[in-house]
Amino acid sequence: MRIFDPHIHMTSRTTDDYRAMRDVGVQALVEPSFWLGQPRTSVGSFLDYFDALLGWEPFRSSQYDIAHHCALALNPKEANDPRCTPVLAELDRYLRKDGVVAVGEIGYDSMTPAEDEALAAQLQLAVDHELPALVHTPHRDKAAGVARTIDVVNESNLPTERVLLDHLNETTVKAAKDSGCWLGFSVYPDTKMDEARMVRLLHEYGPEKVLVNSAADWGNSDPLKTRKVGEAMLADGFTEDEVDLVLWRNPVAFYALSGRLDLGERPTRDDYAGNVLRRGAPADS
Amino acid sequence: MNSPTLPEALAALHAELVEALPEPAAEWLEATLRWAADADWESSFAVATRRVGRAALPRSGMPATDAARVLLLHAVDADLATVTRLYQQGDAAERRAVLQALPWLRLGPEAIGLVEDALRTNDTRLVVAAAGDYAAAHLDQHQWRHAVLKCVFTGVPLSAVSGLAARTDAELIRMLADYAAEREAAGRPVPDDVRNVLAQTPHPQES
């Protein structure tokens, strides 16, 4: 099973996690910028964080042969703090970098006017830099938040085919799918989605344009949840090819919209789908 | 504005890069270098990897993107303010390119702060780039010894350190001998390149 975790905060994880992820098949990931648990108080704090996502973290990741890319943005929560919003002016130069494959996480937290402004401005930055956007949907008042998010996306110059709506669940998946956006699901130990519910939604809505992530961070989360979803899919009758679509080809297709996804030399689909006997054989294609 | 003349080693790097690139990438490189001083060359610096790729060049072993960025910095005759800004605003690959360009630019020792910054990281790609000719020429002896030790501790082969033989002194020998003793006390192997340095220069008498 080859796995691309399209949303994970590795800055908050240990090298043991990197090793465990590689051992279960994670070969690529995207680390979107978010808040740190402790609120930031200055623009400089963002810049050091962005630099880490473009420097130290890809270096750590490379030691475990996992391709690391990132998404950069002012996150929705800190869009409400006037000490943080000036980072918007710095994003232009950061969004040019090779390792940046999306603008994100943007979206709503408490649905304030400041969040409206940051979301609209950053959707335009995605257009300007020819990047797709990773859009976080709020945890509180979720269904209304998703509806409003889709409205703002539709009013922007960024086509919905270049937008990934994340943290979806049973109550929001239909509106998201109807919008034409890509569909992201975060699988967590206690909150958000779990493996069994994820499999039910995949049966109901199909695997097309669906991305599954661990969104693992500094909270109660599990960086191996992507693999666990893959196993739950197989146990429930999905084919290896469908698992490969959800856990590898969909995230590759979405982030490749940036034109900057660089996965290096990786084994092809044939090495993972279909023939278990080929495991351990040299990757010659 | 005329670009500075290309030193022989950079001319060789330029030839090697052009040879290795497919036609459109080679054309982009030549146009970028020729018009660099008049154009938005910092954008070209930023997108170089997407234009020329990262493949290692056959002779120098340098990634194509590093070579292109070094040649570009030379072509625009980058000054201290420019290299400082590009380093500070760069991702790891851009920082590495700035460090590799330093010996080729018309700078005195005043850019040594960038080398010192890179040597404080644990990113071996930056440590290797920092341990080059510019450090050999300008890093003070105390910091230079610590740069060598940093390489040893982070697994960077000492062949990456420019001017190793010329700058090795009794104090570095002592530090490496202490390092070797510490490794042996822990039952860990001492890297061959450390043993080579210890063997090449007679160990001074302890006072």
Cα A264 to chain centroid, rounded: 20
Q: What is the pLDDT of residues B89-126, one digit of tens each?
A: 999 999 999 999 999 999 999 999 999 999 999 999 99
User: To the nearest whole angstrom, how far is the Cα of A93 from the nearest Cα of chain B?
Assistant: 8
Which of B140, B148, B136 shows the shortest CA–CA distance to B178? B148
What is the b/e burial string over A130-162, where b = at least 16 CB atoms within 10 angstroms of the residue's CB?
ebbbbbbbbeeebeebbebbbebbeebebebeb
Q: Report the pLDDT value the prediction gives residue A284, as an integer from 0 to 100.
A: 38
Token pair of A263, please? 């996965």
User: What mean pLDDT do residues A135-146 have?
Assistant: 93
Q: Report the pLDDT value the prediction gives residue B11, as an integer from 0 to 100.
A: 95
Check if the beta carbon of residue A31 is closer than 8 Å to that of residue A11. yes
User: To the nearest whole angstrom, how far is the Cα of A34 from the nearest Cα of chain B?
Assistant: 19
Provide the mean pLDDT of chain A. 92
Q: Would residue A280 be called left, alpha or beta, if left means φ above 0 and alpha means ψ between -120 and 50 degrees?
A: left
Strand, helix or coil for residue A5: strand
Q: Report the pLDDT value the prediction gives residue B81, as an integer from 0 to 100.
A: 97
Q: Using pLDDT thresholds of 50, 70 and 90, give the confidence band for residue A190.
A: confident
Lowest mean pLDDT across A241-245, A270-274, B35-39, B117-121: A270-274
CA distance A162 to A285: 30
Q: What angle do CA A246, A68, A55 make, to 5 degrees?
A: 160
Does residue B207 have a pLDDT over 50? no
Give which of A33, A59, A258 to mutate to test B binding, by max B Cβ within 10 Å.
Answer: A59
pLDDT higher at A69 or B6? A69
Beta bridge partners of A4: A28
Complete edge-to-edge strand list for the sheet that includes strand A100-107: A3-5, A26-32, A67-72, A100-107, A133-136, A163-166, A182-186, A210-213
A13 is a domain residue = yes
Count CB atoms within 10 A of the CB of residue A94: 24
Contacts of B164 (CB under 8 A, 6+ apart): B148, B158, B197
Q: Report the pLDDT value the prediction gives residue A5, as an integer from 0 to 100.
A: 98
Count CB atoms within 10 A of the CB of residue A243: 24
Considering only the beta carbons, identify the residue of A54, A96, A259 that sits closest to B92: A54
Contacts of A29 (CB under 8 A, 6+ apart): A4, A5, A6, A8, A10, A21, A61, A66, A67, A68, A69
- The nearest alpha carbon in chain A to B95 belongs to A55
CA distance A44 to B43: 23
CA distance A71 to B89: 17
CA distance A265 to B43: 27
Q: What DSSP letter does each residue of A99-112 carry, written as one string?
A: TEEEEEEEE-SS--
Check if the beta carbon of residue A215 is closer than 8 Å to that of residue A189. no
Q: Which range marks the domain in which residue A29 is found?
A: 3-265
CA distance A133 to A56: 23
Does residue B9 have a pLDDT over 80? yes
Strand, helix or coil for residue A136: strand
Q: Using pLDDT thresholds of 50, 70 and 90, give the confidence band for residue A271.
A: low
A50 is a domain residue = yes
Considering only the beta carbons, identify the residue of B47, B92, B124 that sits closest to A96: B47
Helix ranges restricted to H, chain A: 15-24, 43-54, 56-62, 88-94, 113-128, 142-155, 173-179, 195-205, 225-235, 240-244, 250-256
CA distance A150 to A144: 10
CA distance A67 to A18: 11
Does residue A273 have a pLDDT over 90? no
CA distance B83 to B80: 5
Q: Report the pLDDT value the prediction gives residue B99, as an integer from 0 to 100.
A: 98
User: What mean pLDDT do residues A203-222 have?
Assistant: 96
Answer whether B91 sits within 8 Å of A259, measured CB to CB: no
Lowest mean pLDDT across A246-260, B1-15, B171-185: B1-15
A271 is a domain residue = no
Number of independent structural domains in chain A: 1
Considering only the beta carbons, identify the residue of B46, B121, B122 that sits closest to A97: B46
Count CB atoms within 10 A of the CB of residue B41: 19
Q: Using pLDDT thresholds of 50, 70 and 90, give the confidence band for residue A112.
A: very high
Taking the Cβ of residue B93 and every Cβ of chain A, the question of whether any pair is shorter than 8 Å is answered with yes
Answer whether A93 sits within 8 Å of B49, measured CB to CB: no
What is the ipTM, given to two decimal places?
A: 0.83
CA distance A276 to A272: 7
Contacts of A48 (CB under 8 A, 6+ apart): none
pTM of the model: 0.87
Residue A47: Cβ-neighbour burial (10 angstroms; 0-12, 13-18, 19+)? middle
A27 is a domain residue = yes
Check if the beta carbon of residue A271 is closer than 8 Å to that of residue A283. yes
Q: Which residues of A touch B (CB under 8 A)?
A: 51, 54-56, 58-59, 93, 96-99, 259-260, 262
Token pair of B101, please? 């360009």
- A67, containing H or E segment: strand A67-72
For residue B49, which residues of chain A lie inside 8 Å, CB to CB?
A: 98
Count CB atoms within 10 A of the CB of residue B67: 26
A280 is a domain residue = no
Q: Report the pLDDT value the prediction gives residue B6, as an integer from 0 to 100.
A: 82
Q: What is the pLDDT of residues B41-53, one digit of tens each?
A: 999 999 999 999 9
Does residue B25 have a pLDDT over 60? yes
User: What mean pLDDT do residues A78-103 have?
Assistant: 96
Does residue B195 have a pLDDT over 80? yes
Answer whether B43 sits within 8 Å of A96, measured CB to CB: yes
